[in-house]
Amino acid sequence: MASFLLAFTIFCNISANASVRIQVEPAKSDVFVNERVPLEIVLYYTEENISGIGELSALRLKDGSFATVSNLPSSKTVKSKKIKGTEYKAIPISRHLVSFDNNGTFSLTGAVYEVELVSPVEGRYDFWGRPLVSYERLRVEVPDCEIKVKKLPTPRGNNRYSGAIGDFTVKVDVPPGNIVAGSEAIAVITVEGQGFIPHDAIPEYGSAFKEGMKLKSVSDSRDNYMDAGQLKSRIRLECTFIPDSAGQAKIGTISFDYFDTDSGKYRSASSSETEIEVKSSTVNRMSIEV
CATH number at residue 55: 2.60.40
Q: How far is CA 89 from the centre of its chain?
A: 25
Higher pLDDT, 188 or 1: 188
**Which pLDDT score, from 0 to 100, does residue 187 have?**
96
Give the pLDDT confidence of 219-229 residue by residue, as tens digits.
999 998 888 87
CA distance linking residue 159 with residue 79, whole number of Å? 44
Domain that holds residue 176: 161-283
Are 57 and 165 within one domain? Answer: no
pLDDT band at 159 (very low <50, low <70, confident <90, very high): low
Higher pLDDT, 109 or 31: 31
Task: Check whether 11 has a pLDDT greater than 60.
Answer: no
**Which pLDDT score, from 0 to 100, does residue 39 have?**
82
CA distance linking residue 145 with residue 7, whole number of Å? 9
Give the pLDDT confidence of 29-70 residue by residue, as tens digits.
899 999 999 888 888 888 888 888 898 888 788 888 899 988
Higher pLDDT, 241 or 21: 241
Task: Check whether 78 has a pLDDT greater than 60.
Answer: yes
The predicted model gives 152-172 an average pLDDT of 88
For the chain, what is the domain count?
Answer: 2
Task: Check whether 117 has a pLDDT greater than 50.
Answer: yes
Higher pLDDT, 77 or 152: 152
pLDDT band at 119 (very low <50, low <70, confident <90, very high): confident
Average pLDDT score over the chain: 84
Higher pLDDT, 229 or 197: 197
Whether 84 maps to a domain, the answer reads yes
Whether 155 maps to a domain, the answer reads no
Are 19 and 130 within one domain? Answer: yes
Task: Check whether 194 has a pLDDT greater than 90.
Answer: yes
Query: What's the 3-state SS for the chain?
Result: CCCECCCCCEECCCHHHCCEEEEEEECCCEEECCCCEEEEEEEEECCCCEEEEEEEECEEECCCCCCEEEEECCCCCCEEEEECCEEEEEEEEEEEEEECCCCEEEEEECCEEEEEEEEEEEEEECCCCCEEEEEEEEEEECCCEEEEEECCCCCCCCCCEEEEEEEEEEEEECCCCCCECCCCEEEEEEEEEEEECCCCCCCECHHHCCECEEEEEEEEEEEEEEECCEEEEEEEEEEEEEECCCEEEEECCCEEEEEECCCCEEEEEECCCEEEEEECHHHHCCCCCC
Are 23 and 142 within one domain? Answer: yes
Are 262 and 223 within one domain? Answer: yes
Are 177 and 72 within one domain? Answer: no
Are 32 and 60 within one domain? Answer: yes
